[in-house]
A = this chain, B = another copy of it.
Amino acid sequence: MTVQKATNIVWHDHTVSRQEREAYNGHEGCTVWLTGLSGSGKSTLANMLEDALWQKGARAYVLDGDNVRHGLNKDLGFSPEDRTENIRRIGEVAALFSDAGIINITAFISPYKADRDTARACAKEGSFIEVLVDCDLDECERRDPKGLYKKARAGEIPEFTGISAPYEAPDNPELVVNTTGKAPEDNVGEILAYLDANGYLSA
């Protein structure tokens, strides 16, 4: 594919609006903010959701540790202050992606309510969808996909959420998906159904 070769550009002071981008993409720009313990399944759901949206022709993009912690936020650690700044920046970047008409999906533990509220405050009203990825701590620790719980129990990782640092579950998330007893396909189906039922997948 190639963009149009037409050279009949109309020069004016027009700035492309969010509404125009959304109409062009056929869906709203919004943030699906996944929050939950390490090992709860956030990254798995984020990637599957991105792919499912992609298969539907939507523009979706995952912001996660791989592309944010190693880049934009590589100067930050895991102290409460650094976690707060980490989430603040991600909230701002997510809002930029939403403004660009993209369904962005964030996959960060984001353990503090106040920080998630800050991220929500960056977003246009109604374009921030907080999804609690709910999973028992025991199950997360059993999965331990990165071996982090083992290290945390051994005292090798300080301030590890759920072990030596708090996780503040949201009081009123837009959606809760339970990954303890359900397959990720079902969890992603629930998120898609939420997006569809609430008008995010049309514009």
A: residues with CB less than 8 A from B are 1-6, 9-16, 20, 23-27, 47-48, 50-63, 67-68, 71-72, 89, 92-93, 95-97, 99-100, 102, 122, 185, 201-203
Contact = CB atoms under 8 A, between A and B. Distances in A.
A96 B122 contact: no
A187 to B, nearest CB: 11
B3 A100 contact: no
B16 A54 contact: yes
12 contacts: A1-B23, A1-B24, A1-B203, A3-B56, A9-B55, A11-B52, A13-B47, A15-B62, A16-B54, A16-B60, A100-B102, A102-B102
Contact of A202 (B3, B89, B203): B3
Kindly report how many copies of this chain are found in the complex they form together.
2
Given A1-B25, A3-B26, A61-B99, 12 more contacts: A1-B202, A2-B26, A2-B27, A3-B202, A5-B56, A10-B55, A11-B48, A13-B47, A15-B62, A16-B51, A72-B92, A72-B93
